[in-house]
Amino acid sequence: MEPLGRQEAAMTTQQVIATQQTQVVATEQTQVLGRALLSPAVVLLFIWMIVPLAMTIYFSTLHYTLMDSENWSFVGLENFRYFLTDPAFLTSLQNTLVLVGSVLAITILLGTPLALLLDQPVIGRSVVRLMVIAPFFVMPTVSALVWKNLLMHPVSGLFAWIANLFGLTPIDWFNDAPMLAVILIVAWQWLPFATLILLTALQSQDEEQKEAAEMDGASALSTFIYLTLPHLARPITVVVLIETIFLLTVFAEIFVTTGGGPGLQTTNIAFLIYSQALIQFDVGNASAGGLVAVVIANIVAFFLVRIIGRNLEV
């Protein structure tokens, strides 16, 4: 019995080693297979990205306007110099940052209390939640039109009607406070997104932790400050990063409501590029602008990740 038992034990050890080796091989095979299967998609995506980028870079070095498309010539970095020194560029860069910053501030400062409210057990909570989330499903063009013609219109809009009701002079939003108007519209669209992310985060907060804080004598406000806010740091980071990506390129809302004006008051980088390409028909200059926009987006992303990306680490 004894020696056989030992032999069996030795066998098992060998088998274990063999199994481990098979697993290593299997892992390698899986990786190779995985790469092979992924590569067509990666190649396609790469082409998808590189072709427009290469063409943009190519066009950005040309003097090429659609008004005079026969006469194009290579001009080097002249388009970049022109775009960057254009006074409209600095204004629209500033507008872009104001728009992004304001919308971020509004959606987070309003989204947090809204999420806290929606987390409470109120009657008809599911219906209320659906209604809060609804704006996110409305196309930007449509919502901008609704805001422009039904809500903010100085004569026939709902806001004007309310102002008249109180005997006040209605605000002519798109002339007197065009940037504020655009900010309000965009914020209205992004508020549901922020609320939704923050709400799911609140729901994942540990109930016993809150009870422990209650036993420790923490008020509702203290619990919010010391437990809930730190818990929300990560979802807020996610909201900031995702919203920034989309807010840098806001276009439809501006196009539909103010057309970038009056003057340059609501022109952001995206709209500036559009106006150069399709109002001034300057393809070369617009391409240079597009590349500048890409660089700006990367700079913003870099700083964002440096400043708040820390929150994403475990």
Partner 1 sequence: MGQITLQGVRKSFGPVNIIKDANLDIENGSFVVFVGPSGCGKTTLLRLIAGLEDVTGGQILIDGRNVVDVPPAKRGLSMVFQSYALYPHMSVRGNIAFGLKMAGLPRPEINRKVEAAAATLNLTPYLDRKPRELSGGQRQRVAIGRAIVREPKAFLFDEPLSNLDAALRVQMRLEVTKLQKQLATTAVYVTHDQVEAMTMADKIVVLNAGRIEQYGSPLELYEHPANLFVAGFIGSPKMNFVPGEVAGEAGVAIIGIRPEHLKIGKDGDGWPGRVSVAEHLGSDTFLYVEGGKLGTLTVRYVGELSLRAGDRVWLTPDPARMHRFNKEGSVIRTS
Interaction of residue 74 with partner 1, rule CB under 8 A: no
Least Å distance between CB 227 and partner 1?
6
Least Å distance between CB 231 and partner 1?
7
Please state, in angstroms and rounded to a whole number, the distance separating the CA atoms of residues 269 and 263.
14
Q: Which two tokens stand for residue 168?
A: 């006040």
Within 10 angstroms of residue 171's Cβ, the number of other Cβ atoms is 17
Interaction of residue 211 with partner 1, rule CB under 8 A: yes
Interaction of residue 312 with partner 1, rule CB under 8 A: no
- Residues 296 and 269: beta-carbon distance below 8 Å: yes
Please state, in angstroms and rounded to a whole number, the distance separating the CA atoms of residues 268 and 245.
14
Q: What radius of gyration, in Å, describes the C-alpha atoms of the chain?
A: 28
Interaction of residue 217 with partner 1, rule CB under 8 A: yes
Stretches 35-43, 154-162, 214-222, 276-284: which one binds partner 1 (CB under 8 A)? 214-222
Interaction of residue 208 with partner 1, rule CB under 8 A: yes
Interaction of residue 202 with partner 1, rule CB under 8 A: no
Stretches 8-16, 204-212, 240-248, 300-308: which one binds partner 1 (CB under 8 A)? 204-212
Interaction of residue 227 with partner 1, rule CB under 8 A: yes
Interaction of residue 302 with partner 1, rule CB under 8 A: no
Interaction of residue 231 with partner 1, rule CB under 8 A: yes
Amino acid present at 50: I
Interaction of residue 28 with partner 1, rule CB under 8 A: no
Burial class of residue 75 (count of CB atoms within 10 Å of its CB; 0-12, 13-18, 19+):
middle
What angle do helix axes 78-85 and 283-308 make, rounded to 10 degrees? 70
Please state, in angstroms and rounded to a whole number, the distance separating the CA atoms of residues 102 and 186.
10
Residue among 69 and 209 whose Cβ is closer to partner 1:
209
Please state, in angstroms and rounded to a whole number, the distance separating the CA atoms of residues 205 and 144.
36
Least Å distance between CB 214 and partner 1?
5
Interaction of residue 226 with partner 1, rule CB under 8 A: yes
Per CB under 8 A, residues contacting partner 1 are 206, 208-209, 211-219, 222, 226-227, 230-231
